[in-house]
Amino acid sequence: MNNFKKIGFSALAGSLVALTSASAVEMAVSGSARVTYANTDQTEVTGNPLGMNTSMGFTGAGDVNGYETTLFVTSADSVGGMSSASLSVNLGDMGVVSFDQGVGIGGISTIDDKTPSAYEEVWDGLDAVVGDANGLVGGGNAGVIVYSNTFMDTGLSLQYGKGASATNADNGTSGASSGSSWDVALTNSTMMDGMDVGFGYGKIANNAPGANGSDIDEHMVAFVNYTVGPVTAGYTQAQISTGVQGGASEHATGWGVAVNLMDNLSASYGEREVEQENASAAHVTEDMEGYAVSYTMGSATIAFQNNETGNNGGTNGTNDENTEIALSLSF
């Protein structure tokens, strides 16, 4: 433990570079590409419905001063430079300490919606509304410290960040917020055969206290998934209690069922409700539903999904729909 205190993250990164030059570190490269055809609802102009997402990931792992250390860097959407990265130090029985720069390796956001699906979640591709979190907990994964370990078959992932979640270069700062955020996720898959459960809680800086308000939002989530043969059913519930003066808290519930119809072919259906608990107006419930079908052949997957929502973002009478066909390749 004393060695870890003396090393520091910059020294670890430098050591990794030195080890790479000496061929003492195993380097791995992975990549993926996804081509999509997306069709929106009748009130929107689709224009060109074709799009593509690409990503390349580079992983280096090796021994640094007696500790297993891993550096992961990824570049996505054909954007040059580092789009996200993480640096992890394995301390053995004491757990793993990581610095996350946008990868999303820990904390409550890793279990924000665990309902089973054959492709994406039922809210994927629907219009984002300013101020509406869709009941998805978490304050971001950029510029945060993550601690992970396992106790009595229960996974622990604790995340801490200072100020608003932001990607900073070394020796750089972000002035968006002076508050601190922390959140934790607990998961277990050994309580009963076929059952996965999880719970998360966090205090997230909102950077907008306002008059008589608080600069902290409270986030909670819980889920349970159960698999019997080819069928997996799941339920999740989340609460975001805002400290912003006059802001709307959100309460979300969702369920989903995914079925392996045959080898490599699966289908799913799910629903999600998000109640906008307005401080000085009537509460409004947003209703989402979606179904998906996917077929996998080796490293290629073809998927179809249709998602719809009513009272989009907590506004009565507004609807949205997204239909997507996707070809995904990994290499």
In which band, very low, low, confident or very high, does the pLDDT at 98 lie, cut at 50, 70 and 90?
Answer: very high
In which band, very low, low, confident or very high, does the pLDDT at 243 lie, cut at 50, 70 and 90?
Answer: confident
Give the CA-trace dihedral at 293, 300, 76, 207, to 10 degrees. 30
The label of the residue with tokens 């945060």 reads 144
In which band, very low, low, confident or very high, does the pLDDT at 3 lie, cut at 50, 70 and 90?
Answer: very low
- Chain length of the chain: 331
Residue 32 buriedness (CB in 10 A; 0-12 / 13-18 / 19+): middle
DSSP state of 107: S
Separation CA 141–CA 74 (nearest Å): 15
The set of long-range contacts for 9-17, using a CB threshold of 8 Å and a minimum separation of 24, is 9/87, 9/99, 10/170, 12/64, 12/69, 12/87, 12/89, 13/71, 13/87, 15/64, 15/65, 15/69, 16/60, 16/62, 16/64, 16/69, 16/71
Domain residue ranges in the chain: 2-330
pLDDT tens digits, 173-225: 776 666 789 999 999 999 999 999 999 999 998 877 655 678 889 999 999 99
Residue 175 confidence (pLDDT): 64
Residue 260 confidence (pLDDT): 97
User: Of 60, 81, 77, whose CA–CA distance to 12 is shortest?
Assistant: 60
Residue 59 buriedness (CB in 10 A; 0-12 / 13-18 / 19+): middle
Q: Is pLDDT above 80 for 40?
A: yes
Fold of 2-330: Porin (2.40.160)
Separation CA 177–CA 167 (nearest Å): 13
Residue 131 confidence (pLDDT): 66
Residue 79 confidence (pLDDT): 43
pLDDT tens digits, 53-74: 888 899 999 888 888 999 998 8
Residue 163 confidence (pLDDT): 76
Residue 128 confidence (pLDDT): 73
In which band, very low, low, confident or very high, does the pLDDT at 1 lie, cut at 50, 70 and 90?
Answer: very low
Strand, helix or coil for residue 94: helix
Residue 214 confidence (pLDDT): 81
Q: Is pLDDT above 80 for 316?
A: yes
Average pLDDT of span 289-314: 95
Mean of per-residue pLDDT scores for the chain: 86
Phi, psi at 170, each rounded to 5°: -60, 140
pTM score of the predicted model: 0.85
Phi-psi region of 4 (alpha: psi -120 to 50; beta: other; left: phi over 0): alpha
Bridge partners of 269, per DSSP, are: 257, 291
Where do runs of H (alpha helix) occur along 35-116?
none
pLDDT tens digits, 115-153: 999 999 999 988 777 667 889 999 888 899 999 999 999
Average pLDDT of span 288-306: 97
